[in-house]
């Protein structure tokens, strides 16, 4: 594929003027280290977090104790906004994958911000897009699902290619068993991705793109400039 494209939609910060995003991120700054919980499933949704810098994963635990790694989020995103719309209870836990800098925005402040900039519809579209992403990564051949998940991870992390992830993490994300992930990694090959005990290295972004090029349902949105990396037209894009 020669044109620039994005597998996931723009971050929340792209929905508002840059100046207003900067103002939003000046609220009550906090820092979380890798492994710490930014938000916890089951707690009251009294605030959202504006993710200024860093990478997080969103994990839901079922009543039977089973875990699903729902998504990865990077800089420029809002975390916890769904709890403000779904009865006020958080449906998942957000864990830092790297050192994360956030700003705390209380519910009333965020709701006022949404009204002021007429963000209700864009937020709804963003939620729909995220649901689509979660569906796509759980359908089709396992190696293609894994390739898509890794591409989205590279994208939301602003081009990072090394991640503290296990095979179990990836299995939870694409909804298969750990052995299936190992087989998919073998099929993708070390020229595309390498996996250690708790580390994933993306070797070839282009190779992963080629893996999903013919996938039904992997319709990518063309973008001339990708906001998280600020790439020029004609260069490889950022990659949920």
More confident position, 89 or 200: 200
Q: Give, for 193, the enclosing helix (H) or strand (E).
A: strand 193-195
More confident position, 235 or 65: 65
Whether residue 239 has pLDDT greater than 70: no
Lowest mean pLDDT among 62-66, 147-151, 213-217: 213-217
Whether residue 227 has pLDDT greater than 60: no
Average pLDDT, the chain: 85
Q: What per-residue confidence (pLDDT) applies to 86?
A: 64
> Which of 49-53, 88-92, 216-220 has the highest average model confidence (pLDDT)?
49-53
**Contact between 157 and 99 (Cβ < 8 Å):** no
Three-state DSSP at 173 gives helix
**Contact between 138 and 126 (Cβ < 8 Å):** no
- What are phi and psi for residue 221, nearest 5 degrees? -90, 125
**Contact between 227 and 76 (Cβ < 8 Å):** yes
Other residues' Cβ atoms within 10 Å of the Cβ of residue 211: 24
Mean pLDDT of 129-144: 90
Mean pLDDT of 94-123: 93
d(CA 158, CA 234): 17
**Sheet-wide strand order for 93-96:** 37-39, 93-96, 56-61, 67-73
**Contact between 140 and 201 (Cβ < 8 Å):** no
**Contact between 146 and 170 (Cβ < 8 Å):** yes
More confident position, 43 or 10: 43
Whether residue 114 has pLDDT greater than 60: yes
Q: What per-residue confidence (pLDDT) applies to 204?
A: 96
Whether residue 237 has pLDDT greater than 60: no
Three-state DSSP at 72 gives strand
Q: Could you give the percent of the chain with pLDDT greater than 90?
A: 64
Region of 103 (left: φ > 0; alpha: ψ -120 to 50; beta: rest) is beta
Whether residue 221 has pLDDT greater than 80: no
**DSSP codes joined into one string, 11-38:** PGGGGS-HHHHHHHTTSSEEEE-TT-EE
Domains of the chain by range and CATH? 1-11+121-240 (1.10.10.10), 17-118 (2.60.120.10)
Mean pLDDT of 201-216: 88
Tens digits of residue pLDDT in 146-201? 999 999 999 999 889 999 999 999 999 999 999 999 999 999 999 999 999 999 99
Three-state DSSP at 80 gives coil
**Contact between 208 and 178 (Cβ < 8 Å):** no
């Amino acid at each position: 594929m020669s044109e620039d494209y994005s597998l996931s939609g723009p971050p929340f910060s792209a929905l508002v003027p840059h100046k207003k995003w900067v103002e939003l991120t000046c609220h009550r700054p906090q820092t979380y280290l890798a492994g710490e919980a930014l938000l916890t499933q089951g707690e009251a949704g009294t605030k959202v977090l504006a993710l200024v810098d860093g990478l997080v994963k969103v994990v839901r635990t079922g009543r039977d104790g089973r875990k699903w790694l729902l998504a990865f989020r990077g800089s420029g995103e809002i975390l916890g906004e769904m709890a403000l719309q779904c009865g006020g209870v958080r449906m998942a836990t957000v864990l830092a994958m790297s050192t994360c800098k956030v700003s705390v925005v209380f519910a009333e402040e965020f709701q006022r911000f949404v009204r002021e900039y007429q963000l209700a519809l864009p937020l709804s579209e963003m939620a729909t897009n995220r649901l689509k992403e979660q569906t796509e990564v759980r359908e089709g051949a396992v190696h293609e699902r894994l390739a898509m998940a890794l591409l989205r991870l590279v994208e939301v992390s602003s081009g990072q290619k090394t991640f503290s992830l296990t095979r179990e993490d990836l299995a939870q994300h694409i909804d298969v068993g750990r052995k299936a992930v190992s087989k998919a990694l073998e099929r993708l090959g070390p020229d595309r991705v390498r996996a250690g005990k708790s580390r994933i290295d993306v070797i070839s972004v282009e190779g992963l793109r080629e893996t999903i090029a013919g996938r039904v349902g992997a319709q990518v949105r063309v973008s001339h400039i990708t906001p998280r990396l600020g790439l020029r037209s004609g260069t490889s894009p950022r990659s949920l």
